Amino acid sequence: GGGPMSREEKQKLGNQVLEMFDHAYGNYMEHAYPADELMPLTCRGRVRGQEPSRGDVDDALGKFSLTLIDSLDTLVVLNKTKEFEEAVRKVLRDVNLDNDVVVSVFETNIRVLGGLLGGHSLAIMLKEKGEHMQWYNDELLQMAKQLGYKLLPAFNTTSGLPYPRINLKFGIRKPEARTGTETDTCTACAGTLILEFAALSRFTGATIFEEYARKALDFLWEKRQRSSNLVGVTINIHTGDWVRKDSGVGAGIDSYYEYLLKAYVLLGDDSFLERFNTHYDAIMRYISQPPLLLDVHIHKPMLNARTWMDALLAFFPGLQVLKGDIRPAIETHEMLYQVIKKHNFLPEAFTTDFRVHWAQHPLRPEFAESTYFLYKATGDPYYLEVGKTLIENLNKYARVPCGFAAMKDVRTGSHEDRMDSFFLAEMFKYLYLLFADKEDIIFDIEDYIFTTEAHLLPLWLSTTNQSISKKNTTSEYTELDDSNFDWTCPNTQILFPNDPLYAQSIREPLKNVVDKSCPRGISRVEESFRSGAKPPLRARDFMATNPEHLEILKKMGVSLIHLKDGRVQLIQHAIQAASSVDAEDGLRFMQEMIELSSQQQKEQQLPPRAVQIVSHPFFGRVVLTAGPAQFGLDLSKHKETRGFVASSKPYNGCSELTNPEAVMGKIALIQRGQCMFAEKARNIQNAGAIGGIVIDDNEGSSSDTAPLFQMAGDGKDTDDIKIPMLFLFSKEGSIILDAIREYEEVEVLLSDKAKDRAAILKGKMIPSYIINSNPEMENEEQPSSENDSQNQSAEQIISISQAVDLVDQESPEESSLNSYPESSSPADSDDAASLSPSEQTSNPTEDHETTSLDGECTDLDDQLQEQSETEEDSNPNVSWGKKVQPIDSILADWNEDIEAFEMMEKDEL
């Protein structure tokens, strides 16, 4: 928007980034160091083994002061050379790399090895300049080498692909290593080593590191699916078989592609560019469906593997800029920016029609990275405005008194007690560079390449210690059409004149893609069908009462069985399809059905609620994730309840309160246990409380590690309970209890979505950075439940739901009972998905068509919201989590069927 940004405003924003970095780094150093990470809500360090385990997410922590090492080169980029010098001394003095801890090889490589090498690269640069670091004698490099040797045993496999985890002290093989039994790793995990390992070899002259990293990359290249030239997400490290055969550019694969292109740039080896170009051609052919990037099956790349995208693919526009393919970069980036404008942050995953799929956001930097590269490429001031929005949102929604907290749920605005090291390593680096002029940075950033963790490696390494002969493997590539490829680094001057209007013309048609989008199927399908043929039936359009639809199902080999209890069961036999294309459609239809079910089942779970601390010194900056109750005031219908908190006596709230005067007109705090939730609610209501917060009695429980649940009623009529009741796990509860100890008067806001700070702070004197511009929060859709641990390698991403839920679209006149299928039961050994009518009567005037014929959109979100509310009201005792039978058996058959189907017409490797 608008004209160019003035130098003053750019400088002001650059300074704001510096202030934010100080807030994050200062709090880490003050409250967390030497721990690996800061927990910004509880204001202490996260020490592995002392906090409840978060599964794979914790594999990044190795008791090696991770955040400090990850932040080293950021300090220099932000011009904080004194702090850098101090930080390096601390690392050399305090950090121990020899702990008995099992860590992720991938995370340790990109964050710790990369951090040490980036620190070393800038230390020698500063030393050469002659002012700082004169005492420095390659000490960080020696540490990096020590760490490199600790990671090497992971490569002791026949394939040369590394084990995903290693014990820093005991390696792989020893019994006390507690690792070495894994069979699978993700493609990114094995393919994101070459930059750090080659740099280590080039800096030290020890060639072994680069050799091992190359061997892993060579193996992945050999194992690509030869007919599509795509790679899967997960691979068996012993056999090289693909374990997960879906392919995209997000979680699990992302940085493999990035490192092929950057390995060419850093090492000057043509074979890496050839490989990258081959993959890139396949990505643009199958996965890129502008502005979307959608996962496909590697053996059947016309078959979409998923109806949602994950946040990690936000790095891809930045990589496309590096390649010189600017148009699709602008398109994808613009689509992502609109999702951000809708939710303030990019949700961890979102559907093709831009609804939230997983609601958390761990302050990921990939979008900021792409924004920086697009600005460098186009010079379009629009990207400065994008950066400004990112800064405002971070300050408005993620900033807490003790740092910046990840979002637990972008829809309620609630926080998670984590601030990952990549936030300091990458986010501030890219945001600062976006607004900095050349003279604001003490060295030439163009002389360095960014690793995937934004660590800086000098480009002069390409001519140092080149012990490895460059093979020219072009002969293998005869089948490729060379005209697609530019075998050199793009010359930015020729490729895109620095013309902002060019970028604007590409963005323009995408302006309303998020807000105006009808829930959509996937455009790919139309292409793959001979012109004139009708596109195949989409799961979301399917109606069990439509004879034409039943015909199509039959053609796809899907049969429909009416069960005695009124449910409908779908079964697919690929062998009975009219043709292989039809069988493929059937497969996709069944998969969409399961996908749809998981989506809609999630949307029917009650969303989390927010407890926001609004009194001094929090001012609404801390938002705790709370579980709702199935009784009492429904916060989604009534604005919010605000009041001071007070502990009830007895603390369990199971008998008449002995301190009614203390809780009168306040929000009562009660402990979980010893009686029913409803009983507690009645006791505090009788004492005059205006709301209640139940705090878990299970020491150490936290919404970071336990799934939220709703407090159920006691089976009796609970209409007499009029006050809102929320549930907090013990960790979140203790944040409030600690606040009471420290500040006595603590005021909170109970709501379904955190309120804007400006609204909370009318008339109070507070620091300006807490209130920025405040666009009105728009009303957003009915949230879905969390998918618990999502980590970068995302190996366990797909958890197909427990229910198949379809909106059975009858015409409104026909019937007032819409069938919302709700549980599925295993059939024989084929895919099965069952649908059943529910107890709920829907409003007969409500049209459940997702897309009406004239192309207008009906808002599916509102319908689901209404549907969800109707069910809650009519049946307060339903606990959504337990209502459905698990379908593991279906899932197993399902996978088997896919395998069999792929084997049937397998393109032989």
Contact of 846 with 823, CB cutoff 8 Å: no
Q: Is 850 annotated as a binding residue?
A: no
Residue 509, Cβ density class (10 Å: 0-12 exposed, 13-18 middle, ≥19 buried): exposed
Q: Which two tokens stand for residue 296?
A: 């496909």
- Number of other CB atoms surrounding residue 819 within 10 Å: 22
**CA 539, CA 866: separation in Å to the nearest integer?**
21
**CA 322, CA 280: separation in Å to the nearest integer?**
12
Q: What is the DSSP string of 355-389?
A: -EEE--B----HHHHHHHHHHHHH--THHHHHHHH
List the 184-186 sheet strands across, edge first. Answer: 184-186, 234-236, 242-244
- Number of other CB atoms surrounding residue 547 within 10 Å: 8
Would you call 668 helix, strand, or coil by DSSP? strand
Helices (H) and strands (E) in the chain, counts: 28, 30
Beta strand pairing call for 667-671 and 691-695 = parallel
DSSP category for residue 419: B
Residue 658 makes CB contacts below 8 A (sequence gap 6+) with 649, 650
Maximum C-alpha span of the chain: 86
**CA 726, CA 626: separation in Å to the nearest integer?**
6
Q: Measure Cα distances from 149 to 66, 170, 211 in Å.
A: 18, 12, 13
- Number of other CB atoms surrounding residue 892 within 10 Å: 12
Residue 690 makes CB contacts below 8 A (sequence gap 6+) with 641, 643, 665, 666, 667, 723
Distance from first CA to last CA of the chain, Å, rounded? 50
**Catalytic residue (one of 274, 348, 831, 871):** 348
Asked if 107 is an active-site residue, the reply is yes
**Catalytic residue (one of 37, 73, 107, 331):** 107
**Catalytic residue (one of 37, 366, 822, 830):** 366
What kind and span of H or E run contains 258? helix 254-267
What kind and span of H or E run contains 422? helix 421-422
Contact of 452 with 258, CB cutoff 8 Å: yes
Q: Which two tokens stand for residue 37?
A: 């990470």
**Catalytic residue (one of 58, 254, 420, 808):** 254
Letter for the amino acid at 488?
T
Would you call 728 helix, strand, or coil by DSSP? strand
**CA 288, CA 608: separation in Å to the nearest integer?**
34
Asked if 254 is an active-site residue, the reply is yes
Q: How far is CA 214 from the centre of its chain?
A: 29
Asked if 210 is an active-site residue, the reply is no
Helices 428-435 and 66-77 cross at an angle (nearest 10°) of: 10
451: nearest Cα among 712, 107, 778, 216 = 107
Residue 96 makes CB contacts below 8 A (sequence gap 6+) with 63, 64
Radius of gyration of the chain (CA): 28
Q: How many residues does the chain have?
A: 909
- Which residues are the active-site residues? 107, 254, 348, 366
Bind-site residues for Ca(2+): 452
